[in-house]
Structures are given as structure tokens and as C-alpha cells.
Amino acid sequence: MNVAITMSICYQGRVMKQPSNVTRSRGDLPAPAADRAFDQLDAAAQRAHLDDVARRALARWNLPADSALRLLSLSENATYRVDAPTLEAPAALRVHRTGYHSRAGIETELAWMAALREEAGIDTPQAIAGADGGFVQCVDTPALAESRFVDLFHFIPGAEPDENALAGPFEQLGRLTARLHTHAAHWQRPDFFERLVWDFDGCLGTRSHLGHWQQAPGLDAADRAVLEATAACIRERLAGYGTAPQRFGLIHADLRLANLLVDGDTTHIIDFDDCGLGWHLYDLATALSFIETRDDIDALVAAWLRGYREIGTLDAADEAEIPTFIMMRRMTLLGWIATHPSADMAIEQGESFARDTVALAERYRARFA
């Protein structure tokens, strides 16, 4: 999840085709110790380290070492704008966090984005091959004895949909989400396919990808008891709901308005960093991230459903579990705040996010427990 990306960027380019002579590594993850070393740096030192990684990465695309680099976003990953005389247009360089995705996982993300563009006509980020023909490069940084994956994309300007009138954008969001799900259901996955799984355990269980909600600030023992009972209710309901292919498959997993960029008549879907296997309705829940307490939440859900049903199918059993997915996502975000206390969104939300989450949980349990 790249909460900090609210800048106006999107990507264009040719469909990616992986050269046959490029070697893939399936379990190529930087050492966990590198994460700890980076986390121990202060903010200025972390920024300097990421700038150094980005500068070192330029050589992987035969770009001049003195190319202009400007940080656009620093959240899960660091994204830089690159301007170089050897580029026809600016590019966007993504420096990945360590330990989150393997090389195969990132290659899977790029492959799906390329297939969406080629096979479904959906505008998505398009990668630029490095000098060796590979789209995912690995940069060593001796100062921390770590390696980081980096990739490069074509860059064009764009803007997020208007947030002052959300019904229209949410209907468009539902429509685009259905197009993604329809394509994913028929996509021939590559043999190196590897992505995160956003099931209950991946969201709220022991292997939660974004962090453990129990560690969030602002929770007392009574609050934790409410949320524990809520998590148990969610687990039970989702076990009954099941993972049939018409309900569970490859999803974006962070498809919010912030990840739509509009450039004229073209709408780009960006930030596939969290894409993986999960329930289709989890994509609806992610669309409501951080705004679950809005007074017009029911109207936004209805708008999303109208758009989705223009292309996709949802039955009464699906619709009945929408509150479950919204609650699960909300608690997942509580875990994210626990692991990102200095992120702008975490600071903006403060401890009120925890209090509001408990209130939502109490209402959820009153209805479903």
C-alpha cells in the first residue's frame, strides 16, 4: 500500500515481454537484518540511503550518473522522477522496500499490468527494460550490506478524480475493478507467478502483511477485547463465505481513488504493489480506506456496486458480506498504522482512528455476532 502517493503521475509504454535470456530468482529476498539496520536510521539518514540507491540504480538503465532525481513519494517504496538527456520523456524510478516482495513477486506484478494493457485495454504502469533486458534490477548498497529491487516506468502527468463529488468517481472505480477481476479470472498466469495472499491470516492473522492491529496506539484492554471478538466473527463469517473462484482471485488490493490518475480522456490505474490473491469484495473495502466513518458511506458503496455490476456479477450473499470486508480492511489499516507511526496518514489520523475503529467494530458485532 502506497498511501503517500497523491502526486500526479501515471505511466505509458509498450507491452512488457520478458526476454528469454534473463534469469529469474524465485526466492530472492534481501536479508531481514537489512530491514532492521535501515529502520534504526533517523529520517534524514534513511532518505540519504534511498537517494543513494536511486542514484546507483541509474547505471542499470545506462542513464547518466548526474541525471536529475526528484523524490515524488516516500511510503512503502520510494518513487523518484528521473530526467535525463538520454530519455525522450521523464521516467519514474521505484525503489522497493526490503523483504516485502521477491524478484518473482515483482515480475508477476509487472506481467499482470502488461497483460491488462495488452489484453483488456486498461491503462496501467509500463516498465522499461534495463540494459541487460530485465525489468527488475537489484542494487547493492554496501553501507548497510543490503540489496534493494528497483524498476523504472514511463511517466506522464495526470490527476486524481475530483474528491468533492465522489459518487461518479466511485461508480467508475467499481467499473474498473470489475474489468480487472474479469481479466484476472481468465489470465494465463506466468510460471513464476508469486504474490501475497489477502485472506484472513494475511490481513488480521499471524502473518498479517501490513502489521498487527494489536500493536496500534490508542487501544486499551477493553478495546482489544472488542476487536479480538470482532476478528473472530470476521474469521467465522469468511470461512462460511468461502473462496470459490467467482469470489476469490487476483485483485488489486489497494484500489482507491488515490490510485486512479486521469489524463484527459484516459484513466490510469497505478500502484499494483499490493496486488495478490484475495476476495473480490476486498477491493471494494480498499476503496473505502480511511473514510469508513463518512456519513455517505452507503451511497459510495451503492455507486461502486452500480459500476461493478455493469461488467461483473455479485449476488445477495456477496452483498451481505460487504460490511465484513469493510471491517476487516479497517482493522488491517490499524495494523498498518502500528507499523508506520511516522507516516503522514498515521499522524493525520492519530489515536482517533483506533477509537473510531472500535466504534465500528461494536456496531458490526451488534449486527453479525
- Mean pLDDT per 10-residue section of the chain, whose length is 369 residues: 37 33 36 63 92 98 98 92 95 96 98 98 96 97 90 88 87 98 98 98 96 95 98 98 98 96 91 98 98 96 98 98 99 94 82 95 97
Helix (H, G, I), strand (E, B) or coil at 58: helix
Give the pLDDT confidence of 207-238 residue by residue, as tens digits: 999 999 999 999 999 999 999 999 999 999 99
Residue type, 348: E
8 A C-beta contact, residue 19 and residue 98: no
Give the pLDDT confidence of 37-78 residue by residue, as tens digits: 888 889 899 999 999 999 999 999 999 999 999 999 888 899
CA 6-281-107 angle, 5° bins: 60
Please tell me the predicted confidence (pLDDT) of residue 55: 98
Using the 8-state DSSP alphabet, how is residue 127 labeled? B
Domains in the chain and their CATH numbers? 32-154 (3.30.200.20), 167-368 (3.90.1200.10)
Please tell me the predicted confidence (pLDDT) of residue 156: 66
Please tell me the predicted confidence (pLDDT) of residue 75: 83
Please tell me the predicted confidence (pLDDT) of residue 43: 87
The model carries a pTM of: 0.90
> How many residues does the structure list for the chain?
369
- Maximum CA extent, the chain: 61
Please tell me the predicted confidence (pLDDT) of residue 34: 46
8 A C-beta contact, residue 112 and residue 173: no
Helix (H, G, I), strand (E, B) or coil at 355: helix
